[in-house]
Amino acid sequence: MSKLLLATTNPGKSTEYRYLLEGLPFDIVTLIDENIDYDVDEEGKSFEDNARRKATEYAGISGLITLADDSGLEVDALGGEPGVYSARYAGENASDTERIEYLLTKLREVPWEKRTARFKCVIAVALPEGQIEICTGECNGIIAFEAKGERGFGYDPLFYIPELDNTMAGLPSVIKNKISHRAVASQKAYRILEKFAEKTIS
Active-site positions read: 70
pTM: 0.89
Over its length of 202 residues, how does the chain's per-residue pLDDT go in tens digits? 799 999 998 888 898 899 999 999 999 999 999 999 998 887 888 999 999 999 999 999 999 999 999 999 999 999 999 999 998 899 888 999 999 999 999 999 999 999 999 999 999 999 999 899 999 999 999 999 999 998 878 899 999 999 999 999 999 988 998 999 999 999 999 999 999 887 765 4
How many Å is the Cα radius of gyration of the chain? 17
Domains and CATH numbers, the chain: 3-201 (3.90.950.10)
